Amino acid sequence: MKPSNRHYYLRLTVQLLIVACLALSISSVALAQTAKALPPTPPGQPGPFTLLSPETLNISVYGGGYISADYGTTEQGVQFTQSITRNIGLIGRATGYQLYIHDDFDNPMNPHTGHQSRLNFGRFQGGLDFHILEGTYLSILGGGDVGDSDAATVEEDFSTWLFRHSAHAINLSASSIYNTENRVASTEVDLRAVAYSTESYTLLAGGGGAIYAGGFVHGVAGQGGPIFGLYLPGWRMGFDIQSGYGSAQEYGEIAIYKQIEWTE
Q: Is residue 78 a contact partner of residue 94, using CB atoms and an 8 Å limit?
A: yes
Nearest-5° angle of CA 125, CA 158, CA 204? 115
Higher pLDDT, 262 or 78: 78
Task: Please tell me the distance from the alpha carbon of residue 118 to that of residue 106, in angstroms, as a whole number.
Answer: 11
Name residue 86's amino acid.
R
Task: Please tell me the distance from the alpha carbon of residue 249 to that of residue 68, in angstroms, as a whole number.
Answer: 8
CA 94 to chain centre: 12
| Position 41 pLDDT exceeds 50 | no
User: pLDDT tens digit string along 68-106?
Assistant: 877 789 999 999 999 999 899 999 999 999 988 776 655
Which are the contacts of 67, defined by CB distance < 8 A and separation ≥ 6? 251, 252, 253
Can you spell out the DSSP letters for 88-103? Answer: EEEEEEEEEEEEEE-T
241: phi then psi, degrees, rounded to nearest 5:
-125, 130
CA 150 to chain centre: 20
**For 237-259, what is the mean pLDDT?**
92
Q: How confident is the model at residue 146 (pLDDT cuts 50, 70, 90)?
A: very high
Which are the contacts of 218, defined by CB distance < 8 A and separation ≥ 6? 11
Mean model confidence pLDDT for the chain? 82
| Position 44 pLDDT exceeds 70 | no
**For 26-54, what is the mean pLDDT?**
59
| Position 260 pLDDT exceeds 50 | yes
What's residue 47's pLDDT?
A: 65
